[in-house]
Structure 1
Amino acid sequence: MTQNLPTIGAALYLPDLERHRDWLIEGQRDLEIQDFIFPEILDGDLEGFCRDALARLDGYKGRLGIHGPFYNLPLNARDPLIRDVVKRRLWQGLDACELLGATHMVVHSPYTTWGYNNLDKTATGREELLEHCHLTMADAVRRAENIGCTLVIENIEDKDPSARVLLAQSFESSAVGVSIDAGHAYYAHGSTGAPPVDYYVSAAGRHLAHVHIQDADGYADRHWPPGAGTLNWRAFFAALARSEADPRLVLELDDNDRILEGAAWLIAEGLAR
């Protein structure tokens, strides 16, 4: 029975790699390197940074990805000058993917709580958002296709679980997929009236490529280890089993000293291995 359970991995920063190396390699667990969210990493010695990361991961053969840049970088940029900045940062993230051999890059959803109430105020609101996303992302999507990487769109404020899925599908590319951050979905459910977290999994279905596993209280973005909050993990993993998807499942915690604690809780509950 254990072999049918999904495998839990982790989202980690460079200093965390060595201390979690044995655990990652023992199960060849999914790994996401997160340092590329920082401008100083992207604009620094990117090649040297990636060589360092790979050296710390000698023997690792699991599914490797990165968290792409997102600070002040709207995927639906209307202003062409802002759009050029976003395109440059996406390109730098893909530079890192190519150097590492990484096959996923997380990007942040353009959908907001405000947008949920206002996108349909005009007949073209949703179409314009899609158009601006395509103008911003088209070059990155083509490059991702060429290097065997998938851009996975993570929910942030998303109140409608389906909108992001439709955005991913609109590219008609295997290089664009759907990501779910469980804690973000729980925040949206508890604080903005969004559906329960398992509905996000059902909405993504087979398009679900990536999950940030973190527990929360439905009020804020806590990034606690599973079991420390009140998220309904049984409903979440039941929906995942029905989805026919094989997403990368990575613990994304505020305290990476608790990675093994979070994994152990899910394993003890019979939800993962």
Structure 2
Amino acid sequence: METTLLVQPRISRIAEYAALAKEMEAGFEIIETSYPDHLDNLEAYLDEIYRWVAPSAVQAVHGPFLDIVLHSPDPAIRQISERRVRESLNLCERAGARFLLLHSNHLPLIREHDYDEIWIQRNAEFLSGLEPRLRAAGITVVIENMWDPDPRLLVRLVRTVASPFVALCLDVAHQRVHGSGSLHSWWETAGSLTPYVQFGDNSGVADEDLALGEGTVDWLALNACLRGAERAPVVMAGVGFDTATAKLRRSLAFLEDNGFFPFPAAPGKRPAS
């Protein structure tokens, strides 16, 4: 099963998320496996997911990001970072997932000489080393913007690796908080390299994981970008840690009622902002 719409299930309420995914014809991006509590129990986590949904439901795996520094000057830190990413790739292969998400973890505040070049070089070397496995499994690593003010370095990284199996992920919520430009300018620069988009909403001051439509994200602009894409991206509708699926359902209703991508445009209705 391939789908354009994904959600992030929570293992503690997996039955609710399985029912919602079936109802909305959505797939899963599993994110809890990116946290330390689950990193040493990836197989058991996936087995529990598969008690509730078919294996084809898992379309994406969010790799580890806390303290992951693939470009660290310390070889020991690079080694453990690389090991954690490879473990997530193992999970992707077992799940038959199409995407592995990795944070850029680039720190724009560091102004030391050659920091940007070293970030590109070391990340490119590591990703290039994974490329044969990615190609064989049909998995695309997508690098997600975090603190990045714009996508220029991310674009350079992808073009340096020069593989169809290394691309970008636009995290809309991160762009709203940390980005220095508009969604339109981000997409104009990097949209052709971005097959995966994470939806989120916030005040623009902090990443509060609000329900979609309850923050300050420019949904009209985002909708225009995605509708105009040469190839429709996969979209994950994210609301962070939800005590139930109510916030997620509210968010999906917001997208559907307003005719926002990936839902069909509402005939004769101009989407609300």
TM-score (norm 2): 0.86
1:10 maps onto 2:1 in alignment: no
Write the distance in 2 (CA, Å) between the matches of 1:157 and 1:247: 22
1:200 maps onto 2:186 in alignment: yes
**Maintained 8 Å contact 1:182/1:213:** yes
| Structure 2 counterpart of 1:163 | 153
Structure 2 residue runs of 5 or longer lacking an equivalent are 264-273
| Structure 2 counterpart of 1:47 | 43
Instruction: Provide the secondary structure at the position in 2 that maps to 1:19.
Output: helix
Question: Could you tell me the percent identity over the aligned residues?
Answer: 25
Write the distance in 1 (CA, Å) between the matches of 2:194 and 2:231: 6
Write the distance in 2 (CA, Å) between the matches of 1:262 and 1:130: 36
Write the distance in 1 (CA, Å) between the matches of 2:135 and 2:68: 21
Q: What residue identity is the alignment partner of 1:55?
A: R
Write the distance in 2 (CA, Å) between the matches of 1:148 and 1:127: 29
**Maintained 8 Å contact 1:28/1:61:** no
Q: What residue identity is the alignment partner of 2:121?
A: E
Measure how far apart 1:100 and its partner are.
1.3
> Structure 2 residue aligned with 1:251, among 226, 232, 237?
237
Structure 1 residue runs of 5 or longer lacking an equivalent are 1-5
| Structure 1 counterpart of 2:129 | 139
Write the distance in 1 (CA, Å) between the matches of 2:17 and 2:53: 10
1:111 maps onto 2:106 in alignment: yes
Measure how far apart 1:26 and its partner are.
3.9
Q: What residue identity is the alignment partner of 2:6?
A: G
RMSD: 2.1
Residues 1:54 and 1:62: Cα distance change in structure 2 (over 3 Å)? closer
1:88 maps onto 2:78 in alignment: no
| Structure 2 counterpart of 1:3 | none
> Structure 2 residue aligned with 1:76, among 53, 60, 71?
71
> Structure 2 residue aligned with 1:260, among 223, 243, 249?
249
| Structure 2 counterpart of 1:35 | 32
Greater share of residues in helix: 1
* Per-residue CA distance 1:20-44 (angstroms, 9 max, x = gap): 2233234432420112112332213
1:223 maps onto 2:209 in alignment: yes
| Structure 1 counterpart of 2:227 | 241
TM-score (norm 1): 0.86
**Maintained 8 Å contact 2:127/2:161:** no
| Structure 1 counterpart of 2:258 | 269
Measure how far apart 1:199 and its partner are.
2.2
Write the distance in 1 (CA, Å) between the matches of 2:164 and 2:186: 20
Which stretch shifts more, 19-28 or 221-230? 19-28
Write the distance in 2 (CA, Å) between the matches of 1:86 and 1:207: 25
| Structure 1 counterpart of 2:163 | 173
Q: How many residues align?
A: 257
Measure how far apart 1:237 and its partner are.
1.2
Measure how far apart 1:178 and its partner are.
0.4
1:130 maps onto 2:120 in alignment: yes
Write the distance in 1 (CA, Å) between the matches of 2:125 and 2:77: 12
